[in-house]
Amino acid sequence: MEKREKMLALHKKWEKKCACELRNSATQAVFGDGNPESEIVFIGEAPGKDEDIQGRPFVGRSGKFLEDMLQTIGMKREDIYITNVVKYRPPNNRDPEPLEISTCADWLREELTLISPLLIIFLGRHALNRFFPDAKISEVHGKLLVKNKLDGKKQNFFALYHPASALYNGGMRQTLMDDFKKIPLALKKIKTK
């Protein structure tokens, strides 16, 4: 079975199995999307209104901005895999709550295990805090973070502000774009270790 088929089977399994209470108010589960062979996985916080309707992550204004930033580093959306820590839209786009994040955690963990990316990129503080609970996005954005996995191997992470922050705060746009341009350098550093 190809990785794409395995990923679809994984999503279908968790769509039935996930006990997240958000499923009761959301239109549908929003599966991760993109290339399961990618070296890079982007993780956002939760689906928004557009994502809930279309069933794909990052299809609204934040997604468009993300695609624009990918182009600045010579990549396309099809080159990467993108998912969220929570697979269902929180009501009124509120922040996902800790219980909702933990209820969807095994789903996310299995996605990451199947892909086995070189680099996991956090889009915002909720994704960051899922892996680094005490980290502040304002202190670690644009930086490569390393953590030991249970098997003793190292996993590389890179923190970015969420693209939506740049849509609501014009001053954040340049910071996010500058940080984004560091991604190829981070990948190069990982590959030369």
Q: Give the CATH number, domain containing residue 124.
A: 3.40.470.10
**pLDDT given for residue 150 in this prediction:** 66
C-alpha 49/C-alpha 60 separation (Å) is 8
Count up the domains in the chain and report the number.
1
How far CA 145 is from CA of 71, 122, 158, 190, in Å, comes to 24, 11, 6, 11
Closest CA to 127 of 62, 54, 190: 62
Sheet strands (E) in the chain: 33-34, 40-44, 81-84, 119-123, 144-148, 154-160
Q: Mean pLDDT over all residues of the chain?
A: 93
* Assessment of whether the complete model's pTM goes beyond 0.85: yes
98 has pLDDT over 90: yes
77 has pLDDT over 90: yes
**167 confidence band (pLDDT: 50, 70, 90):** confident
Helix (H, G, I), strand (E, B) or coil at 80: coil
170 has pLDDT over 80: no
Query: 113 lies in which domain range?
Result: 3-191
How far CA 22 is from CA of 3, 27, 29, 184, in Å, comes to 28, 10, 9, 35
Helix (H, G, I), strand (E, B) or coil at 139: helix
* Radius of gyration of the chain from its Cα atoms, rounded to whole angstroms: 16
**pLDDT given for residue 166 in this prediction:** 84
Q: Which helix (H) or strand (E) holds 172?
A: helix 170-180
Residue 122: both structure tokens together: 């956090």
CA angle 21, 23, 28 (to 5 degrees): 165
